[in-house]
Amino acid sequence: MNTHDWNLLQNIRQKYLDGTAGKHDYWESTAELELYNNTFAQRIGWKWEYVLSQLDNVHWQLPNGTIIDYGCGSGIAGRKILEHFSTEEQRLLLHDRSNRAMEFSQQAAQTQFPNLSVECSAPIPNFSQATVVISHVITELSEEQIKSLCIQVQSAQCVLWVEPGTYVASRALLHAHQLLKSQFNVIAPCTHQESCGMNTSTNKRHWCHFFATPPEEAFTDRNWSRFTEETGIDLSDLPLSYLVLDKRPTIPYKPDSMRFIARADVQKYDAIVVGCSATGVKDYVVSKRTSPEVYKLLKKGNDVGVVTPDIRGREILSLPDDNNT
Ligand SMILES: C[S@@+](CC[C@H](N)C(=O)[O-])C[C@H]1O[C@@H](n2cnc3c(N)ncnc32)[C@H](O)[C@@H]1O
């Protein structure tokens, strides 16, 4: 990539940062989509890999039928899903306000999956019975647009939605969760079907986000070091928010299943972790003295997935082995 390429990328990024990306179609050339696809989209792809691995942990399967990638951009989300479930027996329908983006995604999907049926739809497609994929679009939509998207999404069979792990994006996604919850079974990240515990006044400071792990190449490949130099983006930090919904019957989580939000605040003698379960979102303490194993696990920064911890009051005593994903 040359200086001109980095400048193009910086231009696009600036639109994301100053919040103007939603105003109009910013894809001015196929070259821009290519650059985006090789950089920002790859990083988004790593987030999708994390989410798909969380879905594997709960044995979720992609239904047959149509996958609709809404706001497809360069199409990374749809391709990651198809790659993960190793299937070409689906139909991929791409939608974006940019024709250029749809064409780029169509070509990329067709190259990667020659037997896949891939189509584009300039009008918002009918979501009925489809698996709707939404990735990194929410910050480009107005409140009204999010509401109307949610109304249309209600007719889908499944929704796989991944957004940045920022406060604003996560809170917008929690709102979408609120609008959609009654029509679907919530598969992840919630381990329950109750109202979101983040929405209480005591939890205003929290937001529902997690951290994906980047692949080795993010630290060894010289193009990625240049990416970090040029953009200032720390590749070891991959925060994301997500929501997966399904109308099909699902195997329920155990009643006391919990997911830890974000990362624990690890201090010398204890760690504070935010746990989300059917009883709400609460801070829990893990003492290094009484629960050294759990403390160590949290200190390493490992994502422990869904757990059913032994809890006394606000203290987590252990994470029984067989429940630890
Ligand atoms: C940040 S890019 C994300 C692209 C892709 N989903 C990904 O995860 O890499 C946001 C995409 O949403 C599209 N977009 C923004 N507003 C839209 C709208 N109202 N309807 C359809 N697409 C929209 C943009 O054109 C852009 O391609």
d(CA 132, CA 323): 30
Q: What is the pLDDT of residue 23?
A: 86
CB of 41 closer than 6 A to ligand 1? Answer: yes
CB of 37 closer than 6 A to ligand 1? Answer: no
Q: Is the peptide bond before 189 cis (omega within 30 degrees of 0)?
A: yes
Please identify, by atom number, the ligand 1 atom nearest to the C-alpha of residue 27.
25
User: To the nearest whole number, what is the mean pLDDT of the chain?
Assistant: 94
CA-based torsion, 98, 63, 187, 322: positive or negative: negative
Residue with token string 């070509």? 107
d(CA 321, CA 235): 31
CA-based torsion, 31, 32, 35, 41: positive or negative: negative
Q: What is the pLDDT of residue 321?
A: 63
Q: Does domain 3-246 have CATH number 3.40.50.150?
A: yes
Residue nearest to atom 4 of ligand 1 (CA): 73
CB of 94 closer than 6 A to ligand 1? Answer: no
- Digit-by-digit pLDDT tens for the chain (325 residues) are 888 899 999 989 998 888 888 889 999 999 999 999 999 999 999 999 999 999 999 999 999 999 999 999 999 999 999 999 988 778 999 999 999 999 999 999 999 999 999 999 999 999 999 999 999 999 999 999 999 999 999 999 999 999 999 999 999 999 999 999 999 999 999 999 999 999 999 999 999 999 999 999 999 999 999 999 999 999 998 999 999 999 999 889 999 999 999 999 999 999 999 999 999 999 999 999 999 999 999 999 988 999 999 999 999 999 986 543 4
Contacts of 38 by beta carbon, 8 Å cutoff, 6+ apart: none
Joined tokens for residue 27: 């894809």
Domain ranges in the chain are: 3-246, 258-323
Ligand 1 centroid to Cα of residue 157, in Å, is 21
Q: What is the pLDDT of residue 63?
A: 95
CB atoms within 10 A of CB 274: 22
Joined tokens for residue 183: 């029509």
89, 63 in Cβ contact below 8 A? Answer: no
Pairing assessment for the beta strands 131-135 and 210-211 based on DSSP bridges:
unpaired
Pairing assessment for the beta strands 185-188 and 131-135 based on DSSP bridges:
unpaired
Residue nearest to atom 18 of ligand 1 (CA): 97
Best residue for ligand 1 mutational test, from 140, 147, 150 (most atoms within 8 Å of Cβ): 140
275-281 LR contacts (CB < 8 Å, sep 24+) = 275/309, 275/316, 276/189, 276/190, 276/191, 276/197, 276/198, 276/208, 277/191, 277/192, 277/197, 278/191, 278/192, 278/194, 279/197, 280/197, 280/200, 280/203, 281/196, 281/197, 281/198, 281/200, 281/203, 281/206
Ramachandran angles phi, psi of 262, nearest 5°: 50, -140
Residue nearest to atom 20 of ligand 1 (CA): 97
Please, how many CA atoms are within 13 Å of residue 171, restricted to the half-sphere of its CB? 10
Best residue for ligand 1 mutational test, from 137, 145, 160 (most atoms within 8 Å of Cβ): 137
Q: What is the pLDDT of residue 323?
A: 45
CB of 243 closer than 6 A to ligand 1? Answer: no
CB of 73 closer than 6 A to ligand 1? Answer: yes
- Strand partners of residue 258: 307
Contacts of 277 by beta carbon, 8 Å cutoff, 6+ apart: 191, 192, 197, 256, 257, 258, 259
128-153 pLDDT, tens digit per residue, is: 999 999 999 999 999 999 999 999 99
